[in-house]
Amino acid sequence: MEQVKQVESLREELARENAGEASLRYDYSIYKSERGNFLIPLEVIWRNALPEGSSVFRRLREGSLSVSDLGLDEIPPPGFVFKEPFLEVSTKLEAKDRYLSWSEACEIAGLSDAEVEEIKRITLKINECVRKAASRAGLTVEDGKVEFGFDEHRRLLVVDAVGTPDECRYSYGGMPVSKEVLRAFYRRTAWFEEVEAAKKRDALNWRDFVKSEPPALPTTLKNLTSSLYKAFCNEITGRIWFEDVPSLREIMEELREFLS
């Protein structure tokens, strides 16, 4: 029987906590000395496609990501599908996720080249397994993330959940099947604009500058999202865990109409 292991989260200490994102400095030196039993402070992202709303488009506009970084010759359009999955990496424990080069990831987490290659291999295998399960339910897997840790013998562990609509971005007939449904609602609110402005002002303490409350979800959207997750579970596993739930196709049609 597979065991569930607990690993330590070695939260890096801030060297400075001055207001403003540019002033934040993190000390990752502890990861150079620890040999095992800890959460690796990275998120590994795989991308099979670039749906509308992907952070890749924002980063291309900002110049923090280049077309050549993607292995492409020109800016891709929304809906672009990679011939091979594109892998990248970001920080996990900072106030705001920060995309890194693989060499930077190696440096801050104290990883060897062989460990990075094994992380990439496992990530691609997970993507393959998730895509196979999703295809049986008529779903497309556009991207996803994986987190890793080391056990006491410095063997890699997959940490947290894998393949849920919170870890992956799925679509069904071009509609998102993930928490992106809720993001789409909140992006239209004044509260979201206030949050974005506060994060630019102070990436660490931004909550102190947000005075409004997030608006309550409309009852219809809340119920549809609940049914969406239940139908997703039923159809991707091929087993009825939740009874009296409409099919994924029916729910997606209702969501499309509600969000239009």
Mean pLDDT of the 135-142 span: 94
Distance of CA 232 to the CA centre of its chain: 18
| Residue 187 to residue 47: CA distance in whole angstroms | 23
> For 143-154, what is each residue's pLDDT tens digit?
999 999 999 999
State residue 4's pLDDT score.
74
Residue 258 pLDDT > 70: yes
Q: What does pTM read for this prediction?
A: 0.87
The string of DSSP letters for the chain reads -PPP---B--PPEEEE--SSGGG-EEE-THHHH--SSEEEEEEEEEEEEE-TT-HHHHHHHHTSS-TGGGT-SSPPPTTEEEEEEEEEEEESSSSS--EE-HHHHHHHHT--HHHHHHHHHHHHHHHHHHHHHHHHTT-EEEEEEEEEEE-TT--EEEES--SSTTTEEEEETTEEESTHHHHHHHTTSHHHHHHHHHHHH-TTTGGGG--SPPPPPPHHHHHHHHHHHHHHHHHHHTS-SSSS---HHHHHHHHHHHH-
Q: Which domains does the chain have, with CATH numbers?
A: 1-176 (3.30.470.20)
φ/ψ of residue 110, rounded to 5: 65, 40
- CA–CA gap between residue 38 and residue 230 (Å, rounded): 33
* pLDDT for residue 8: 85
- Please check the confidence at residue 160 and state whether its pLDDT lies above 90: no
- The predicted model gives 59-74 an average pLDDT of 94
